[in-house]
Amino acid sequence: MKNTALSNVHIALGAKMVPFAGYNMPVSYSGLNDEHNTVRQAVGVFDVSHMGEFILKGPHALDLIQRVTSNDASLLTDGKVQYSCLPNEKGGIVDDLLVYRIDSSAYLLVVNASNIEKDWNWISARNTKGVEMKNISEETSLLAVQGPKAAATLQKLTHINLSEIPYYAFRKGTFCGVENVLVSNTGYTGAGGFELYFPNAVAEKVWKEIFEAGKEFGIKPIGLGARDTLRLEMGFCLYGNDIDDSTSPIEAGLGWITKFTKEFTNSKTFLEQKEKGVQKKLVGFEMLERGIPRHDYEIVDAFGNIIGKVTSGTQSPSLQKGIGMGYVPAALAKADSEIFIRVRDKNLKAKVVKVPFWKN
């Protein structure tokens, strides 16, 4: 089990630690609902240093990214970020990721913790033009500071004007006296905020100073449990739950990151799916009867026929109702379609809704 540079800090704070993607990670501190509401109403800090980071450099870096990702990275300018995915040859997804353009010949790819080795091998196997690749995951710490008071907290610690960093953009500069910190705005919570990438050696210093700066706003550390409920309220996909090696981006509602202005892995299959339609689609749903939908619960139709499975589900702390996502036949994917979730042998009524579930 690997530790992040801050694992001892979490343990000292009394966090409940769990194994996640090969790392010893905090799942909760003060309790899921309290942490969730702290991020929605004030400011919370997530240690997400388990995520993977690759640097790709050289004149052919963009060409490699274009061939292995579904989105069109040629649209990026310096300081911009793009959400994308790595499609596979079977019509599924190797991983979803973020592509940061540092300059025309240097990019940062941020990948899921559980897929670091898999993604590295996948991209490396397609690196046929000598792109310089460096895996900096082990030496990089990453904090996500999220919530309406995140900007006011962090602005005290940097001369970077945070109000000038639009959504899906980043700046590099001095933060907490540490040079060359990458500050981005790509939040996974829908509550606003920033991500900070810096070397492991300064992790405890940065953590301490952020908490000092946020004290007046009631800043709290936040675990993976609340990260999951926050992202689910926004209808954001989680790799391994809502998308995986067998789900296509078109089925998952990720057609917006699947651009056919270029050729990429298996692009012909996805174009065909877009033009002809797919048989199943990932939808959001909310419970109309009391019950909490959980991962892998069966989705059934009005006659009790199994039509799918819940990929993500929870009792929404913000909405105080059961919400979830799952794949259903395309005919039942329209908003307000009636479906049922099998909870402890009872078929409980739910309806398909447009995501996000929580609207700020």
Cα distances (Å, whole numbers) of residue 44 to 138, 153, 207, 210, 319: 24, 10, 12, 10, 19
Question: Tokens 């945070």 identify what position?
Answer: 162
CA distance 162 to 183: 9
CA distance 351 to 296: 18
What are the respective helix, strand and coil percentages of the chain, to the nearest 5? 25, 35, 40
Q: Residue 360 above 90 pLDDT? A: no
Evaluated on CA atoms 8, 10, 14, 15, the torsion sign reads: negative
Amino acid type, 61: A
pLDDT-derived band of residue 267, with 50, 70 and 90 as boundaries? very high
Query: What integer pLDDT is reported at residue 241 of this predicted model?
Result: 98
Report residue 96: phi and psi, to 5°.
-105, 155
pTM higher than 0.95 for the full model?
Answer: yes
Q: Is 141 left (phi over 0), alpha (psi -120 to 50) or beta?
A: beta
What is the share, in percent, of the chain residues with pLDDT greater than 70?
A: 100
Query: What integer pLDDT is reported at residue 305 of this predicted model?
Result: 97
Q: What is the tens place of the pLDDT at every residue in 287-333?
A: 999 999 999 999 999 999 999 999 999 999 999 999 999 999 999 99
CA distance 84 to 41: 29
Mean pLDDT of 2-14: 98
Q: Residue 54 above 90 pLDDT? A: yes
Question: Tokens 């004149």 identify what position?
Answer: 59
Q: Which helix (H) or strand (E) holds 22?
A: none
